[in-house]
Amino acid sequence: MGMWNMDRDAADADAGDCAVNLPRFMVLMFVCAAAPSAVVWADGGAIVDRGEWGGGRFVLWVNPAPPTVGPTEWTLLYSADAASSSQRIVLRLDGEGGAWQEGTFTPVDAGSAMHTCVSSLPFAGEWTVTLQIDGSAWQPHTVALRVQPAAEPWHAALPWMLLWIPAGVLLVLRESLAMRQSRA
């Protein structure tokens, strides 16, 4: 009746073959372990502050969470009247010892309420984050922030590296058990 033989034995012929499946699994493990930690840990960051300011409501969050020394992305969701939301929003970071830096939030899309700004925090410690709308009578909004020391690069990937050890051991145990059962 049919042209092809789709019996169960032919379909499962190499399902338990360690020589076929183990190399595939090892390649998959290597690809997952080598994935960049930024992709593996990607999230929206941590909320720094939220409330009412500048004639509207805002939420400010930072990525990475917790904030660490190095590149930092700031995201501001700011909903206000059209006049306030079209003005330039400035981010100022004041650190210990008089260190400071300033950046400008840019809208993600034209007319968007979401704005982003990228900075680089040079050292750990207490920082003051200030939001200011240029040319506005609104008072600047400030919030304190604790910046952590940068983690060693291998610390970021350590949990993912350790996760594959038990997975690999379980695979080897399963394959050896399957081989023993096939011999018996």
> 152 φ, ψ to 5°?
-65, 145
What is the pTM assigned to this prediction?
Answer: 0.59
Where in the sequence is the domain holding 57, given as residue range(s)? 39-147
Asked if the model's pLDDT at residue 136 lies above 80, the reply is: no
Radius of gyration from C-alpha coordinates of the chain: 27
Mean pLDDT score, 122-134: 92
What's the structural domain count of the chain?
2
Residue 29 domain flag:
no
Asked if the model's pLDDT at residue 105 lies above 80, the reply is: yes
135 and 74 belong to one structural domain: yes
Asked if the model's pLDDT at residue 102 lies above 60, the reply is: yes
Q: Are 74 and 65 in contact (CB under 8 A)?
A: no
* Least trusted range by pLDDT, from 1-10, 79-88, 104-113: 1-10
d(CA 96, CA 98): 6
171 and 101 belong to one structural domain: no
d(CA 158, CA 57): 39
Specify the CATH number for the domain of residue 129.
2.60.40.3340
Residue 91 has a pLDDT of 93
How do residues 141-179 score in pLDDT, each as one tens digit? 999 999 999 877 766 667 777 777 888 888 888 888 888
168 and 139 belong to one structural domain: no
* Look-up of token digits 């400010």: 60
